[in-house]
Amino acid sequence: MDEEGRGQTWHLLDLPWEDVLVPHILSCLPLQHVVRLRRVSKQFHGLVQVYLANCRTFNFSAIGPSVPKEAFCEMLKDNKVLQNLSLQNCSDWVTDKELLPVVGQNPHLQRVDMSGCASLTRHSLVAVSLSCTHLQHLGLAHCEWVDCLSLRSLADHCGGLRSIDLTACRQLKDDAICYLAKKCSALKSLSLAVNANITDESVEEVAKNCRGLEQLDLTGCLRVRNQSIRTLAEYCPKLQSLRVNHCHNVTESSLDPLRKRDVTIDVEPPLPRALVLLQDMLGFAPFINLQI
């Protein structure tokens, strides 16, 4: 280092922002820490805005409850390169008004999680389907505003969808799920849990159209029966996980072929379940001759 360089004082913000600070320092910090840096000075505020404008992933699940809606809009106003957006735990404040501009200027979104965002409406889902045609993963768990028409819009425009969580979307019925299955045949993961409207018709249509399906959650789907589970076993050779807890009309006769393929099922087979109950009652595991 020359004599002039030795006498000069260097500050953090003197480093190149877009080449050093943004990709190598800010990108390693949790989002809540980055947001706090904006309050340090005008220069730090500017640096953070450059970082936020170039972020490809925004996960508000950790800081959602403490983020004012105005701050959300300010943080994302310049971002047009988002690929992943998670709004879990933002149900207290996020509405269509805040979300629609973000979706409209980010057509490259591939993963969006709106689970639990009760104040949104079907307009947000329609906006996502129209703007984000490359969408692959969508979380809508406990979004009871999701209806058949908005889901059809999603199916029409996002045919490359790989996973979707529709847990407790209780407005949805068989016709909407069947339409989704026909249009989004590349689905690998699907949750239809906690929806009493879902019947064998939906499960069979999913099985016949989405043959690469790996994970299916039917927890609490009381009208699903053995017939559709057998169809699932026949048409989905790549199935890895099936959840049928509280599906009282699904019995071991349809689950056993899947167990033999090492599919993970959240319901224990009848004999082990009975043995556990017996052990709890007796205080020890009895010997039972299974060859009788």
Q: What are the tens digits of pLDDT across the range 171-191?
A: 999 999 999 999 999 999 999
User: What's the pLDDT at 211?
Assistant: 97
Q: How is the beta sheet containing 264-265 ordered, strand by strand?
A: 57-59, 84-86, 111-113, 137-139, 163-165, 189-191, 215-217, 241-243, 264-265
- CA-nearest of 102, 112, 98 to 81 is 102
User: What's the pLDDT at 65?
Assistant: 72
- C-beta separation of 125 from 115 below 8 A: no
CATH 3.80.10.10 fits 58-281, yes or no: yes
Which one-letter amino acid corresponds to residue 133?
T
User: What's the pLDDT at 62?
Assistant: 73
User: What's the pLDDT at 291?
Assistant: 46
Residues of the chain with pLDDT under 50: 1, 290-292
User: What's the pLDDT at 292?
Assistant: 45
Query: Token pair of 183, please?
Result: 């249009």
Domain ranges of the chain: 15-54, 58-281
User: What's the pLDDT at 272?
Assistant: 61
User: What's the pLDDT at 42?
Assistant: 85
Phi, psi of 112 (to 5 degrees): -135, 130
Model-level pTM? 0.85
- C-beta separation of 261 from 234 below 8 A: no
